[in-house]
Amino acid sequence: MPNVYFKKRIKDLREKENLSMKQLAELLNVTKSRVNMWENSGTVPRMDTLLKLANHFGVTTDYLLGNDDVSEISGENKKTQFTATQSWQIK
């Protein structure tokens, strides 16, 4: 199911960092066409990729998906982040 929040937020975050679709794709080890699908049709990626996106941009998955309007990870949330390997990592 398309997510209008996700497609806008992922594009805004990518452009804020001056990344091309190809550059973001390479960072995440996905194809450029996959990034294009996210931004143009609102296709939400698998959980492991969603977590990589959130970690890269320093936002929560809830923000990316439109469940929260706060883009910054709070100080408390920065202490632990869920990694794509399904384990907790203390920072």
Q: How confident is the model at residue 87 (pLDDT cuts 50, 70, 90)?
A: very low
Handedness of CA 17, 27, 46, 20 (dihedral sign): positive
- For 32, counting Cβ atoms within 10 Å of its Cβ (0-12 exposed, 13-18 middle, 19+ buried), the class is middle
pLDDT tens digits for range 18-56: 999 999 999 999 999 999 999 999 899 999 999 999 999
| pTM score of the predicted model | 0.75
Q: Half-sphere exposure of residue 89, counting CA atoms within 13 Å on the CB side?
A: 10
